[in-house]
Amino acid sequence: MAYQIAIVGGSITGCMLAQLLKRNPQVHVSLFERSSSVLGSRGVGITLPLPIIEKVNNLLPDNPCSFYPAHKRFFYRNEVQQNDAIEIWQQTISAAAINWGMLYRTLRHDLDGIYHTDTEVLHIDHGTDKLPSIALAHGSKKTFDLVVCADGYDSLGRKTLYPDYSFNYAGYIGWRGTLALPKPPTVTSLEYHCFDKGHLVSYTIPHQNGALINWVLYSHMSHEDLALFKQMQKSSKQLNKDATEQLFSIADHHLSKEMKGIVRRSSSLFYQTIYDGIAPSVSKDRVVLLGDAAKILRPHLGSGAAEGIRQAFELADTISKTPDLASAISTWTSAEDPQSQHMAKLASHVGNALVTQAPDWSQMNQERMTNWWGSLMMGKLQYFTAPSLTENRMAWQK
């Protein structure tokens, strides 16, 4: 008899796992998404390692996800007198710049009969001596052999397993926006524009009507200022007039003429608060946490989507190769827990070094940046320098 597996959350991580599990004849998978709207309307950018997006597209050849390869990243500082960006470092990378909505639509494709929209999970019942069950908003209750929670940073699964879990504010926020380009490129690069207690990173992503410059500007904000900022925003993530002027002021003060122009001409401006947080374990009592449900990592080492996809591939692979489900969960958890702990520590370390404890960028050059980055990474490879997905476990353990 096939294992009955439920996935809570129909975003990128949940869809990726559903695509993988539906190919396993020993598994019957059901995905529950509380939203009734189309998640794919989101248009912000993310980056993935090239091996991951290639593996996704090989799995789904009839509906591949468009992307721009990025083989270089550049670090700049602003020359105040010239009001221009001065290159201080470049590094060879192997990344893919992707539109979040396009990736979602690729993964959502052909999940009819598995993907249940407008179906909110209200409660997860679990215990060491019983199979987990879920209670749905429309009144029914279902029991499964495994419940996988891929329901994001506000995860019901994490709150159920670890009710005392809490996030830690990192001390800065990310201001985000996009600017339409009339002519799509064939490749892109990652550009970092650095200043004291912050930086802006930008790259180009595909869009249905051409291409977009996607950027995020990280800047320090105290706990007190964050509380006032959120009060001014009135719970909205979209920037209001006062917040937009605050963003423009930061850009005018710290960025080159070209980059401040990009920020000022951009649309769909919003912000995200940067947090740290990791659950004690990725599984408990046949309930598994994936992606942002398991940990909130600062985004400087890669997107939450990249991490969720990696976990989905490895969990599905472990289930397919292990004789029984309980052993598969145990094997996967034993490998994943220490890796997650290390990644959380490293992401916080790198975030501090790039924002709250940034070096004097005016003193940096190619040699000094190479040495600085090497010591910062503590002997590890960043996700987009990893040569393969599974052989090196994203190179975090190299």
Instruction: Give one DSSP letter per residue of 287-339, joined into a string.
Output: EEE-GGGTEE--GGG--HHHHHHHHHHHHHHHHHHSSSHHHHHHHHHHHHHHH
Residue 40 has pLDDT above 90, yes or no: no
3-state secondary structure 346-372: HHHHHHHHHHHCCCCHHHCCHHHHHHH
For the segment 348-356, the average pLDDT, to the nearest whole number, is 94
Q: Which two tokens stand for residue 63?
A: 């509906």
Per-residue pLDDT at 138: 92
Per-residue pLDDT at 83: 76
Among candidates 315, 319, 285, 327, which has minimal Cα distance to 131? 285
Query: pTM of the predicted model, to two decimals?
Result: 0.93
Per-residue pLDDT at 184: 86
Domain boundaries, the chain: 3-41+107-166+279-364
What's 238's DSSP letter? Answer: B
Per-residue pLDDT at 395: 34
Positive or negative, the CA dihedral 115, 120, 44, 395 is: negative
Report whether 247 contacts 239 (CB < 8 A). yes
Report whether 86 contacts 77 (CB < 8 A). yes
Q: How many Å apart are CA 344 and CA 43, to the nearest integer? A: 26
Q: How many Å apart are CA 310 and CA 208, to the nearest integer? A: 26
Question: Predicted confidence band at 228 (pLDDT cuts at 50, 70, 90)?
Answer: very high
User: At 174, which helix (H) or strand (E)?
Assistant: strand 168-181
C-beta neighbour count of 4 within 10 angstroms:
17
Choose the weakest-confidence range: 148-152, 261-265, 373-377.
373-377
Residue 386 has pLDDT above 50, yes or no: no
State the pairing for strand pair 45-49/3-8: unpaired
Q: How many Å apart are CA 297 and CA 88, to the nearest integer? A: 27
In words, the CATH class of domain 3-41+107-166+279-364 is alpha beta
